[in-house]
Amino acid sequence: MNKENITDFSKLLATFPCFPTVLVTCDENIITLALIHIFSFNPPLIGIGIAPKRYSYGLINKKKEFVVNMPTKNLLSQTNLCGTKSGRDTDKFKETGLTKETSKIVKSVAIKECPVNLECKVVKEIETGDHTWFIGEVVNGKIADDFKLEDTVLYWKGLYRSPGDVIKQR
């Protein structure tokens, strides 16, 4: 195997195999995100990376809360719309036809059509290069009884994908 040094670091970052795709709501706006990670299981902490220029950045910075909604393959056009239009000039609930669902603990609405909803309160903010990571503690969550991991959406190199094959059973 021959390897060469690469100075275009974006090419190196593009080798990461995949990112989960989620719809994050804050107040009544929706943003599509692929920068999301579990930061701790106990307590349950989820981090979301948002560029400061996003409308959602200002909302989350002010409200200190957000809801992570898990879209499924059948919500792909809505997911793409929420990742290409801004809440500054678009009512994304109206435009996508998605339904607002009242959350139990936070004030921000959840998305009814998403089978998983995680209500989070911001406990930490980490400013990194071109994104700020908001770390949220999960304070309430819902999961549909017919939820299937196989139906979730991944995003990788500009393409939406499904989770791949199981390659070995433990």
Note the residues at the interface with ligand FMN (CB under 6 A). 21, 29, 31-35, 49-51, 54-56, 80, 83-88, 131, 155
The distance of closest approach from Cβ of residue 64 to ligand FMN in the complex, given in angstroms and rounded to an integer, is 16
Closest CB to ligand FMN among 82 and 116?
Answer: 82
> Is the Cβ–Cβ distance between 72 and 151 less than 8 Å?
yes
The β-bridge relationship of strands 159-161 and 154-156 is antiparallel
Q: How far is the CB of 73 from ligand FMN (least distance, A)?
A: 13
Q: Which is nearer to ligand FMN, 10 or 169 (CB)?
A: 10
Contact between 56 and 79 (Cβ < 8 Å): no
Q: Measured from the CB of residue 37, what is the shortest distance to ligand FMN in angstroms?
A: 10
Q: How far apart are CA 76 and CA 74, in angstroms?
A: 6
Cα–Cα distance between 71 and 102 in angstroms, integer?
17
Backbone angles phi, psi at 99, to 5 degrees: -105, 135
Q: What is the Cβ-side half-sphere exposure of residue 28, based on CA atoms within 13 angstroms?
A: 11
Give the residue with the Cβ less far from ligand FMN, 60 or 106. Answer: 60
Q: Which is nearer to ligand FMN, 51 or 143 (CB)?
A: 51
- Smallest gap from residue 100 Cβ to ligand FMN (A): 15
